Amino acid sequence: MAPRYVGLAAAIALAASVATAALAQDAERKGIPAPPGHVFNTIISGYQFRSKETRALQDDDLENPGFLAVERAADAWKKAEGSEGKSCMSCHGQAETSMKGVGATMPKWDDKLKKPVNLEQRINICRVEHMKAEPWKFKSRELTDMTTFVKYQSHGMPVAVKTDGPMSPWFERGKQTYYTRYGQLDLACASCHERNNGKFMRADFLSQGQTNGFPTYRLRDQRVVPLHERFEGCMFDVRAEPFKPLSDDFLALELYVAWRGIGLPVETPSVRN
């Protein structure tokens, strides 16, 4: 056989091997059945798309670096701040009881504001209105730690956001954002996480883009990253001007993406690439 045909045969064999490996990986990924009308037949956490080493790191509570944020916030929970001299514990008692299930249902409708609020916003509302303390800045270690701590109290519970009633137009707004192409690369969220999950794009192995693990410890950043920062990063990646964190645009997107992972167990603090 001529050398170039040998090379072609080897390339075909390699491609077949890679395809077989990918199919085997797909078969190994565990998910949950999607409800009627969902975009997926099976909803799969980003955990299933990561390496065995990364999954093992997440599963080990002693080694998972995200638990440093949980521990810091557990101390902050008891610390009195602001002119009212109150701590989170002053109103809410033990977080293990009072915060159980809270993170799994966020974003949630706020009757006073007439709009949804997410966990970061709810924490700052409590600080300003009840503690008379300064709000924490987005991406500050304090706010990210406390968001992680509160979300952790729902660990293992299913994502259960509401999308009906007054949340309905926000859901539709988030859906529109999800399918809109942005930036110089002309890509939508769906381009990667719906049409191409389970494939490589450059060096990144694409997942369904589920948010049940956020805030998440990102190995490349060596810190816990909040969800809206990841949204920002995705928009930067497609060379688009991102929406502002905690803006209505990102809140609507957060709601819609949470619905796409409805029923998945909360994994916070998860570990991702």
Q: Which of 8-12, 105-109, 191-195 has the lowest mean pLDDT?
A: 8-12
**pLDDT value at 16 more than 70:** no
Q: What are phi and psi of 50, to 5 degrees?
A: -95, 165
Whole-number pLDDT of residue 118: 99
Mean pLDDT of 6-19: 37
Whole-number pLDDT of residue 201: 83
Whole-number pLDDT of residue 153: 99
- Helix ranges, the chain (H): 3-28, 52-59, 67-77, 88-92, 95-98, 119-129, 141-152, 168-179, 189-193, 227-237, 248-260
- Binding-site positions for heme c read 88, 91-92, 126, 189, 192-193, 234
Q: Are 65 and 218 in contact (CB under 8 A)?
A: no
Mean pLDDT of 14-33: 56
Whole-number pLDDT of residue 203: 76
Query: Under 8 Å CB-to-CB from 156, ≥6 apart: which residues?
Result: 265, 266
pLDDT digits (tens, 9 = 90+) for 205-218: 999 999 999 999 99
Active site annotation includes 103:
no
- In this prediction, residue 23 has a pLDDT band, given cuts at 50, 70 and 90, of very low
pLDDT digits (tens, 9 = 90+) for 69-127: 999 999 999 999 999 999 999 999 999 999 999 999 999 999 999 999 999 999 999 99
Mean pLDDT for all residues in the chain = 92
**pLDDT value at 18 more than 90:** no
Whole-number pLDDT of residue 9: 39
Q: Which of 234, 235, 255, 266 is catalytic?
A: 234
Neighbours of 112 (CB within 10 A): 8
pLDDT digits (tens, 9 = 90+) for 137-179: 999 999 999 999 999 999 999 999 999 999 999 999 999 999 9
**pLDDT value at 11 more than 60:** no
Structural domains of the chain, ranges and CATH numbers in brackets: 29-63+159-272 (1.10.760.10), 67-152 (1.10.760.10)
- Binding-site positions read 88, 91-92, 126, 189, 192-193, 230, 234
- In this prediction, residue 27 has a pLDDT band, given cuts at 50, 70 and 90, of low
As a whole number of Å, the end-to-end CA separation of the chain is 44
- Binding-site positions for substrate read 230
